Amino acid sequence: MDFMDNYNLWLEKAVEDKDLITELKSIKDDEKEIYERFYRSLEFGTAGLRGVIGAGTNRMNIYVVRQATQGLANYVLNKYGKGAVAISHDSRIKADLFMNEAAKVLAANGIKVYITSELQPTPVLSYLVRYFKCQAGIMVTASHNPAKYNGYKAYGEDGCQMTDVAADAVYEEISKLDMFEDVKTMDLNEALDKGLVEYVGDEVYTSYIEEVKKQQVNPGVCAGADLKVVYTPLNGCGNKLVRRILKEIGVKDVTIVKEQELPDGNFTTCPYPNPEYKEALQKGLELCEEVKPDLLLATDPDSDRVGIAVKDHDGSYRLITGNEDGIMLTDYILSNRKANGTLPEKPVVVKTIVTSKLVEKLCEKYGAELKNVLTGFKYIGEVILGLEKNNEEDRYMFGFEESYGYLSGTYVRDKDAVVASMLICEMAATYKKQGKTLAQVIDGLYEEFGYYMNKTLSFEFDGAEGMQKMADIMSNLRDNAPAEISGKKVVKTADYKLSVEKDILTGEEKTIDLPKSNVLQYNLDGEHMVIVRPSGTEPKIKIYLTAVGADKADASDIIDELASAVEKILGV
């Protein structure tokens, strides 16, 4: 259908949400704006849906949500004959509306729905899927994107985000549907009365918290450690459960960043609510100067990721990267469980291919098996599932990705800022009793293994032209692979889309035993590395740089040189 025809159809049919009609009428003479909303449909993939809130097939709205949910309902009924689905949401604009609309569609299809009465962290949704033995799950969130975005993450019966196979099957069902004619829906109150929709009880959240507490490495260490924490939920959904878990493990001195305490999808104090960025943590850092805590915790809007800042040697507050936090937690868990006699034989640690190579050194030190997986926490979840099928889930120690996502334990299959916040505080308390700060801990690991510095570059490509530009960049890199980057020879390449790893020095090629993904990797002399990857959830190309130096200054110089060289190669 022509985009203008589609626009006119929406003017006629999209009458249930007045905001959409107002928006559509406001752009009636602007062909470019109409095109941006209708030139394509939001694609359903392993990350579900994600887009700007608004009118049109290329926006997040009740009609796109309903169509996706009808496709999911058809998939569940085709595969299982019947089913149950858990749904939750975070603090984003219209997130509760989208949750309710999805519930109404599923109920109209005879599928039992468990929904939350208030916003909950993404890992809780993963937990609900397994707790209620559901066939699927939906989390309405756009994670750390700016306020204008919302999204729809879909989960399988294992509590992991959907695999490629399942997502493709759901997308095929969605593609068959006319969003105005082929979607079933029913009144929510009627669905509640008939028992097709049921609210999750408080006892379920208590059982989740108990599972989180089982992941403690040194239970009781926080009591008497006098740990002082500043915490910000960044106007998201971590406030209740993060504060609850900290209180239950004995962290009593917690100061909340008041401007960011309550749910607010406008994120007025942090326009980009991503704990990877200093700007998002600025209010927390300002409070740290007043309160003088041991550390700052910041969970993102759907509370599956956490960032921290710690007191440095000079009393200032130092941002800890996602890699650094993961390195410290890996070392803390392995070393303390070994000392406690609770480290199993053949322990397993999982990280993504773009995450710090320093983890390899830690696994060698403690005799752990390291599994590298593609970017996306569902792949870490798949490793857990594989261990579980062999009755070896106790071997799983820790999994993380550089973008501040961590998981200890197998009670959920997604990254969890609640358990990560608990473990970070426990780790800080343990070292505080030894007279050490977390800044000293990470510096000590660098002294032991070398200074591994990581940096992520992100380039945005908005709109239809941007999507084509991203495709052209990746195609050009495949056709014209660099022989060197910043004067450092490329010694090995890996193309995860073609599943081929090549040793440039010997010419030997190996098959990469991972799912295909549009990722290119260049290993350089001196253990340095460059990885190029289009984002699966945002219109961006991300570049992951690794530099290994003798010290921070050395590594910093190398990474700056790599960044400059990569920008020239990409032409951005």
Residue 185 lies in a domain: yes
Instruction: Determine the pLDDT at residue 89.
Output: 98
Q: Determine contact, residues 74/191, Cβ cutoff 8 Å.
A: no
Task: Tell me the CA distances in angstroms from 195 to 72, 128, 136, 191, one per residue in order.
Answer: 20, 18, 18, 6
Split into its structural domains, the chain has a count of 3
Residue pLDDT, tens place only, 141-175: 999 889 999 999 999 999 999 988 999 999 999 99
Task: Tell me the CA distances in angstroms from 225 to 221, 228, 393, 428, 429, one per residue in order.
Answer: 7, 9, 32, 9, 6
Same-domain status, 457 and 438: no
Q: Is 539 exposed, middle or buried (0-12, 13-18, 19+ CB in 10 A)?
A: middle
Instruction: Determine the pLDDT at residue 271.
Output: 84
CB neighbours (10 Å) of residue 508? 10
- End residue of a domain, out of 182, 208, 234: 208
Instruction: Determine the pLDDT at residue 467.
Output: 79
Residue 387 lies in a domain: yes
Q: Name the token pair of 131.
A: 């707790």
Q: At what angle do helices 239-248 and 417-433 cross, to 10 degrees?
A: 40
Q: Tell me the average pLDDT across 332-350.
A: 97
Residue 565 to residue 441: CA distance in whole angstroms: 32
Instruction: Determine the pLDDT at residue 41.
Output: 94
pLDDT band at 221 (very low <50, low <70, confident <90, very high): very high
- End residue of a domain, out of 403, 429, 449: 449
pLDDT of 572 > 80? The answer is: no
Residue 240 lies in a domain: yes
Q: Tell me the average pLDDT across 80-90.
A: 97
Instruction: Determine the pLDDT at residue 308.
Output: 98
Same-domain status, 161 and 13: yes
Residue 219 lies in a domain: no
Q: Name the token pair of 332.
A: 């803390």
Q: At what angle do helices 463-479 and 31-38 cross, to 10 degrees?
A: 60
- End residue of a domain, out of 389, 418, 449: 449
Instruction: Determine the pLDDT at residue 537.
Output: 62
Would you list the DSSP string of 138-155?
Answer: EEE--TTS-TTEEEEEEE
Residue 218 lies in a domain: no
Same-domain status, 234 and 112: no
Same-domain status, 444 and 493: no
Instruction: Determine the pLDDT at residue 535.
Output: 78
Least confident of 389-403, 498-512, 533-547: 533-547
Residue 275 lies in a domain: yes
Instruction: Determine the pLDDT at residue 96.
Output: 97
pTM (2 d.p.)? 0.94
Same-domain status, 426 and 415: yes
Same-domain status, 499 and 566: yes
Same-domain status, 292 and 310: yes
Residue 143 lies in a domain: yes
Same-domain status, 50 and 75: yes
Q: Tell me the average pLDDT across 56-81.
A: 98
CATH code at position 531: 3.30.310.50
Q: Among 566, 311, 572, 314, which Cα is nearest to 455's?
A: 566
Residue pLDDT, tens place only, 109-150: 999 999 999 999 999 999 999 999 999 999 999 998 899 999
Cα end-to-end span (Å), the chain: 34
Residue pLDDT, tens place only, 404-451: 999 999 999 999 999 999 999 999 999 999 999 999 999 999 999 999
Same-domain status, 530 and 426: no
Instruction: Determine the pLDDT at residue 470.
Output: 87
Residue pLDDT, tens place only, 356-396: 999 999 999 999 999 999 988 999 999 999 999 999 999 99
Residue pLDDT, tens place only, 452-471: 999 999 888 877 677 788 88
Residue 454 to residue 548: CA distance in whole angstroms: 9
Kindly name the residue from 88, 143, 408, 517 that is annotated as catalytic: 143
Strands 348-352, 396-401: pairing kind: parallel
Residue pLDDT, tens place only, 237-247: 999 999 999 99
More confident residue, 72 or 143: 72
Residue 476 lies in a domain: yes
Task: Tell me the CA distances in angstroms from 328 to 73, 375, 542, one per residue in order.
Answer: 42, 20, 24
Give me the phi and psi of 42, to 5 degrees please: -55, 130
Structural domain containing residue 457: 451-570
Same-domain status, 175 and 232: no
Same-domain status, 160 and 233: no
Residue 143 falls in the annotated catalytic set: yes
Same-domain status, 314 and 192: no
Q: Tell me the average pLDDT across 74-95.
A: 97
CATH code at position 111: 3.40.120.10
Least confident of 99-103, 270-274, 384-388: 270-274
Q: Among 183, 199, 126, which Cα is nearest to 156's?
A: 126
Helices (H), 39-108: 62-80, 95-108
